[in-house]
Chain A
Amino acid sequence: MSKSSSSNREMHWQKTKTLTMLTLIIWYFFSFEIHLWGEALNTAGFPGGYFMAGQGSQVAFALLVFWFARRQDKLDQEYGVAE
């Protein structure tokens, strides 16, 4: 663990905020935006609206959390503030 200067920490927090924003935008998309179009997704004989509410969003959230955890850890390493 390297010693972190305060400007280094500032940069780390800026990047952390950006990553969190990005994560929340994706979260918003799969929580709300996609379900606005529930009816429209039911096309071509496939119950897409049902799929997104019953399975699609959940899978997206799980992948999103793993992706976020990996990115955040990389950030922590990069700025020398990891454990």
Chain B
Amino acid sequence: MIKLEGGFIQNLGRVYGLYTMGFLGFVILMAILEAVGVSNTIIGWLFVAFTVLIYALIGVLSRTMDSGQYYVAGREVPAVFNGMATAADWMSGASFIAMAGGIYLKGYPYMAFLVGWTGGYVLVASLIAPFLRKFGCYTVPDFIGTRYGGNVARLCAVIILVVASFTYVTAQITGTGIVASRALNIPFEAGVWIGLAGILFCSMLGGMRAVTWTQVAQYIVLIVAYLIPVFWMSNKLGYGLIPHFAQFDAVSRVQELEALHGVKALMPTAEAQAEAGKLAALKVGINDASTTPMAKWKFFTLVLCMMAGTASLPHVLMRYFTTASVKAARQSVGYSLLFICLLYLTAPALATFTKLSLLDPNVATSIIGKSVAEVSNLEWIKQWSSVNFLKIVDGNGDGIVQINEFFMKGDIVVLATPEMAGLPYVISGLVAAGGLAAAMSTADGLLLAIANALSHDLYYKIIDPKADTKTRLIVARALLLVVGAAGALVASLKLTGILGAVAWAFCFANSGLFFPLVLGVWWKRANRAGAVAGMVGGFLAGAIYLYQVQFNGMTPWIGLDGLRFGMIGMPVSLILMIVVSLMTEEPDAETQKMVEEIRVPGGKSVID
């Protein structure tokens, strides 16, 4: 079907064009099957099975035994396609499933994630990625290890990478579990293991090469799945063709409705909240920008942590090792951001239109202000309350659903929107396939980042430098299997919600890696002792602070909660790195020459 050798790179446009047409054709076929009466369960199964099989097929077709192909996809991925792959790599279950729900429930302050997760790419493009591409490394610890020299620096980078990425990957495997269990009607734990099997199929045989081409395919599925329902809703609600522009009128309408329903005035009673458990009622306005200094501080610290995290998460940086040139790496960051924005600009619109669907009494699907009996009888309410994603608690016993009596999990804004807005089931199947693609593609990248660091940096560079290519690649695959299984095991224990763990991964990465990476390029004087001090000190300071705040009941300092512990780790890392570097000898001439070399795109890469 797809010819992978020789002409493949030249024919990428055609191959993925056909693939996209094929996928749209499949969606239409499903719509026809639904119309002739095929059951929802079967349609859900078909969506998941068809897409996962395609990814696995691409994974198998991309198998390789060449280390350059396995680690950096042969460094021949065009900027645009690498942009798509990065976007899929980047947009996780959290972006796809949780983000719109977060904006729905938490309003303006939550949009700090949107700003942080896009602005970080400016740092990637200007401070780090092109230089690492010129450097020519296979992994991020490879850069740290060679730039600063010595196994200790390399090992520190490996450990931080593993902790950050592993935190992140469990969240992604949890995401695949949630989506798979919902779409296939199977227990969550079974969903987790099925998801893992799909993920491993995509990456085991072909490493980075296989992950690249499946991620492009996954991007196409996830973006189609995210956009179609929002466009549909915007038009169905009569706000206009393009939801991104239409949402501003909708925001004004939502503000009227907030006054009508008493959002911010009516808070859930303590008993009702206790009954609802972790589910949340809507308590904030849609556009209450931060006004107090504390609110602004929290907005900005979250933005900063997410940005610095973006620029130091190895699974993102390593995507730019696969482009054909330094120039292409820079451009590719722009394309990544473009493809990410397609989804991120849509998330607030989705949150807004979902709010309208639920709150506006003029809309047939609204539930606030209707009788509890009537609402409880709706098909989607029954379905999603049975899996504990939402709950109606008639706190004042008047038989009417008020704003403070409707409790939900943010995730349903994406997952249940099609049913909520009365769209056909085929859209729900599509959304499930999209959510699965988002979580799987990120999990792929993360697992590969971990396994590559362990196999290349720990095994090959530190333990057995004489290992031949074949042994190295077998070790790499065995590690992939082990790390994946460990991730699935932790995920099946359900330790934290999707987003909590994701934000932690960003803060682990920026506490330990941000300054050693940036200063490795921008400050010639940075040396091994400084880098090790920066990595160890920053990472430990951040981790200990997180432990104290999250598990030991410490009151956060000036609002720096568990999502923002990078604000502790990063300054510690920066100060230690500068002070210790200056106190110890400057790097040798060879290292300084190496830094000069990575600052220009031309010429040979530093390591080959």
Say yes or no: B119 contacts A31, CB within 8 Å.
yes
Binary B-proximity of A18-52 (CB < 8 A = 1, otherwise 0): 00100110010011100110110110011101110
> Closest CB-CB distance, A20 to chain B, in whole Å?
5
B121–A54 CB distance below 8 A: no
Cross-chain contact A58 with B287 (CB below 8 angstroms): no
Most buried by A among B108, B333, B344, B347: B108
- Name 17 interchain pairs, CB-CB below 8 A, sorted by A: A16-B599, A23-B122, A31-B304, A35-B289, A49-B108, A50-B111, A53-B115, A55-B348, A57-B119, A58-B115, A62-B338, A65-B333, A66-B334, A69-B125, A76-B601, A82-B602, A83-B325
B327 touching A76, Cβ below 8 Å: yes
Tell me the residues in window 96-132 of chain B with beta carbons closer than 8 Å to chain A beta carbons.
103, 108, 111-112, 114-115, 118-119, 121-123, 125-127, 130
Q: Are B122 and A53 in contact (CB under 8 A)?
A: no
Query: In the bound complex, do residue A39 and residue B291 qualify as a contact, i.e. CB atoms below 8 Å apart?
Result: yes
Closest-by-CB residue of B relative to A81 is B600
A41 to B600, CA, bound (A): 42
Q: Which of A13, A38, A55, A68 has the most CB of B within 10 A?
A: A55
How far apart are the CA atoms of A73 and B600 in the complex, in Å?
A: 11
User: How many residues of chain B have a CB within 8 Å of chain A?
Assistant: 50
Q: Is the Cβ of B327 less than 8 Å from the Cβ of A54?
A: no
B406 contacts partner chain A, Cβ-Cβ < 8 Å: no
Give the complex CA separation of A65 and B299 in angstroms: 23
Query: What's the Cα separation between A76 and B108 when bound, in Å?
Result: 41
Could you give, for residues 415-440 of chain B, a 1 whenever the CB lies within 8 Å of some chain A CB and a 0 otherwise? 00000000000000000000000000
- A69 lies within 8 A of B334 (CB): yes
**Chain A 59-83: CB-based contact to B (< 8 A → 1; otherwise 0):** 1011011101100110010001111
**Are A9 and B122 in contact, CB atoms less than 8 angstroms apart?**
no
The answer to whether the Cβ of B300 comes within 8 Å of any Cβ in the partner chain is: yes
Task: Say whether B303 contacts A32, CB under 8 Å.
Answer: yes
Inside 8 A of B235's CB, which chain A residues have their CB? none
**Closest CB in chain B relative to A40 CB, distance in Å:** 8
Complex CA–CA separation, A69 to B457 (angstroms): 31
Known: A12-B600, A53-B111. 12 other contacts (CB 8 A): A4-B600, A16-B599, A38-B108, A39-B291, A45-B252, A50-B286, A50-B289, A58-B114, A58-B118, A61-B119, A65-B334, A76-B327
Q: How far apart are A43's CB and chain B's nearest CB, in angstroms?
A: 12
Residues A42 and B287 in contact, CB atoms below 8 Å apart: yes
Could you tell me if A59 and B341 are in contact, using CB atoms closer than 8 angstroms? Answer: yes
State the A residues within 8 Å of B (CB). 1, 4, 9, 12-13, 16, 20, 23-24, 27, 30-32, 35-36, 38-39, 41-42, 45-47, 49-51, 53-55, 57-59, 61-62, 64-66, 68-69, 72-73, 76, 80-83
User: 0/1 per residue, B331-374, Cβ < 8 Å to A?
Assistant: 10110011001001101100000000000000000000000000
- With A39-B289, A83-B326 already in contact, the answer to whether A65 and B121 are too (CB < 8 A) is yes
Q: Is B244 an interface residue (CB 8 A)?
A: yes
Given known contacts A9-B600, A68-B125, A46 and B334 CB-to-CB distance under 8 angstroms: no
Shortest beta-carbon distance from B592 to chain A in Å: 13
- Structural contact, A32 and B125, CB atoms closer than 8 A: no
Chain B residues in contact with chain A, CB under 8 A? 103, 108, 111-112, 114-115, 118-119, 121-123, 125-127, 130, 244, 248, 251-252, 286-287, 289-291, 296, 299-300, 303-304, 307, 325-327, 330-331, 333-334, 337-338, 341, 344-345, 347-348, 596, 599-603
Task: Report the separation of the CA atoms of residues A58 and B287 in the bound assembly, to the nearest whole angstrom.
Answer: 18
Are A76 and B126 in contact, with the CB atoms below 8 A? no
Q: Would you call the interface of chain B mostly helix, strand, loop, or mixed?
A: helix
- Is B252 touching A65 in the complex (CB atoms < 8 A)? no
Contact at A69–B333, with CB atoms within 8 Å? yes
Residues of A within 8 A of B112 (CB): 53
Q: Given the complex of chains A and B, what is the CA–CA distance between A32 and B300 in angstroms?
A: 6
Of A23, A42, A50, A82, the residue contacting B348 (CB under 8 A) is A50
Min CB gap A28→B, angstroms = 9
Docked pose: A56 CA to B362 CA in angstroms: 30
- The distance in angstroms between the C-alpha atoms of A16 and B599, with both chains bound, is 9
- Tell me the smallest distance from the CB of A53 to a CB of chain B, in Å: 4
Which residues from chain A contact B108 at a C-beta distance below 8 Å?
Answer: 38, 49-50, 53
Which residue of B115, B290, B334 is within 8 Å of A62 (Cβ)?
B334
Find chain B residues with CB under 8 A from A72 CB. 130, 330
Hey, which chain B residues are within 8 Å of A42, CB to CB?
A: 287, 289
> In the assembled complex, how far is the CB of residue A10 from the closest CB belonging to chain B, in whole angstroms?
10
Q: In the A-B complex, list the 4 residue pairs whose CB atoms are closest, starting with the nearest.
A: A38-B289, A54-B348, A49-B289, A69-B330
- B307, closest chain A residue (CB): A31
| A-side contacts of B325, CB under 8 Å | 83
B287 touches A47 (CB 8 A): yes
Least distance between A21 CB and chain B CB atoms (Å): 9
CB-defined contacts of A12 to chain B, threshold 8 Å:
600
- Beta-carbon contact of A4 and B118 below 8 Å: no
Chain B residues whose CB sits within 8 angstroms of the CB of A13 once the complex forms: 599
B115 touching A83, Cβ below 8 Å: no
CA distance A62 to B304 in the complex (A): 17
Q: A38-B290, A83-B326 are in contact. Are A27 and B122 (CB under 8 A)?
A: yes
Q: Kindly state the separation between the CA atoms of A38 and B298 in the bound complex, as whole angstroms.
A: 14
Closest to A45 in B: B252
CB distance from B264 to the nearest CB of A (A): 16
